[in-house]
Chains A and B, each alone.
Chain A
Amino acid sequence: MSSRRAILAQTRVELILTLRRGESLLLSFLIPLGILVFFSKVSAVKTSSNPVNFLVPGVLSLAVMSTAMVGLGIATGFERRYGVLKRLGSTPLSRSGLLAAKTINVAVIELMQIAVIVATGLALGWDPDGRFFLALLLLLLGTVAFAAIGMFLAGTLRAETTLAAANGLFLVLLFLGGMAYPLNRLPDVLASVARVLPAAALSESVRAVLAGNNFPWSELVVLLIWAILMPVVVVRTFRWEE
């Protein structure tokens, strides 16, 4: 087990590096905010009476997906490529310590994203009628699932391939995620595929609890399966050296 001192040192560096990566900030903050503002002002697709009530849960899910899957996955893939993971392996920072630092990093960035999105949503007229704590728990579950997908890519593919795959997956899941427009706008076949993917499960369930609707049991089950299955896959497939 690493000392708290070692984990803190690593966490500090993880945060420095994340905040220094311009493209990852663009992905984590500007894209979710852009979608929120654009789709609330331009009614490209008809949603419920108040588009912001639809958009905020979707954009929160998008934010989690960008940080946990894309940001973490690409950064870790390149750390593997550059031998950083290997080199850390012979320091007193244990693997669990490294994982802890990366987890804290993702959590801090996500809290910043949530704060900015919630503030922007409220400014745009969001009036939630729901259980915030439950929404946070669902976002946490989504974080586990997406982080594991990102780590799976990072631990098995070459760094460039991880970069392309994570960004590609981000786009696909954005379109199939019920984030910017409702799932029922998709063709039936696509919609049923989307319902078993983690993106739609997250956005639909967060939307349901924030709107005060019935508890989204089926979405929760899908999300749980991804959040349990993917970490197991990562542990079995992750290679520390490229």
Chain B
Amino acid sequence: MSVTDLAIEVVGATKAYGALVAVKELSFTVDRGEVFGILGPNGAGKTTTVEMLEGYRFPDAGTIRVLGLDPKADADELHIRVGVMLQEGGLSPGLKVSETLRLYAGFYLSPDSPERLLDLVDLTESRNTTIRRLSGGQRQRLSLALALVGKPEVVFLDEPTAGMDPRARLVTWEIIKNLRASGVTVLLTTHAMDEAESLCDRVAILDQGSLVAIGSPRDLTSRAGGNETRFTAPPNLDRANLAVALGLEATFVREAKPGEYLIAAEPTPELIALLALWLRDENVQLGTLEASQRSLEEVFLRLTGEGDHS
């Protein structure tokens, strides 16, 4: 893939606030048309990273390119081609929803239709409401519409669904999926693993300012290993006997709760066949059978050490 197909290129970016190193030698690229997620616990450097891409902060070391341009030197051009949704704030409380959208439409030469966007983010009924009277979720949706009104090629969304109710969240997810379908590059930060799993082509996991993992959600979960096979059946089965039948150490088969069994092994076709044979031989009625992967959340907690104290 040639350099021009990169929407975002970060090479060795470092940013410190006094003694606190917020981002440390961070490198990653995002292809055009990709939906890219940045995950990480609070204080991991997500917002600092996004704000360096947006041109609000400049790295102490390293280089950053957005659409091949320098967020500092080429700010004027980037402001035309990039849409931004801040983590919070940015709206004038005394202005109405439609006035705000019209203002932002006025900043661009060929903006998207404010009416269409109001409809898209489900705010048509609140168009004449002043922002001070909007709920947090409604403000988020207006901010999203403002990020899109300039028909951007790249959109930065800092925790776009924070504070949204489930319905608004789904609306937002749908909008992001449509952005990808129309070739817009989306970089978002999130705390919600289900959001990252269902929206992002790739995610980067940050911890204490450093990149600890990058890849598609599927890559990350399978790379992490530790997959298991679960089934339910009558309680108190002979687990040692089952382990022998499956060719595993006895400790690999556990009864998590009465009647709920856990085999610490990949749900390979062979394993499932051996399990089925054993069930037939022992004349055991199967309840449910589940091949489970580690969730992205488990991967995240393990990588960022957030699960250590739980």
Contacts and interface: CB of A to CB of B under 8 A. Distances in A.
B148 to A, nearest CB: 13
Interface in A143-183: none
Interface in A1-52: 1-3, 5-6, 8-10, 12-13, 16-17, 20-21
Contact of B89 (A1, A20, A87, A89): A87
Interface of chain B: mostly helix, strand, loop or mixed: loop
B88 interface: yes
A94 B75 CA distance: 10
B86 A83 contact: yes
Given A16-B95, A16-B99, A17-B95, A91 B90 contact: no
Given A87-B86, A87-B89, A89-B56, A13 B99 contact: yes
Contacts of A3: 109
Contact of A86 (B76, B89, B108): B89
Given A16-B99, A17-B94, A91 B89 contact: no
Interface stretch (B1-9, B77-85, B293-301): B77-85
A164 to B, nearest CB: 19
Contact of B94 (A20, A89, A92, A94): A20
A135 to B, nearest CB: 33
Interface size class of A (residues with CB under 8 A): 20 to 34
B72 interface: no
Interface string B98-132: 01001111111100000000000000000000000
Contact of A13 (B54, B76, B92): B92
Interface in A82-126: 82-84, 86-87, 89-94
Contacts, number: 74
Which of A1, A16, A90 has the most B CB atoms < 10 Å from its CB?
A90
B86 A91 contact: no
A92 B80 contact: yes
B55 interface: yes
Contacts of A91: 79, 104, 107, 150
B107 A93 contact: yes
B91 interface: yes
B103 A9 contact: yes
Nearest to A10: B103
B90 A8 contact: no
A92 B95 contact: no
A200 to B, nearest CB: 34
A38 B55 CA distance: 53
A12 B99 CA distance: 10
A81 to B, nearest CB: 8
A79 B111 CA distance: 24
Which of A13, A79, A92 has the most B CB atoms < 10 Å from its CB?
A92
B163 interface: no
Contacts of A86: 56, 86, 89-90
Contact of A92 (B56, B92, B103, B150): B150
Interface of A: 1-3, 5-6, 8-10, 12-13, 16-17, 20-21, 79, 82-84, 86-87, 89-94
Given A6-B107, A91-B79, 9 more contacts: A2-B107, A5-B107, A10-B106, A16-B95, A83-B89, A89-B55, A90-B79, A90-B82, A92-B76
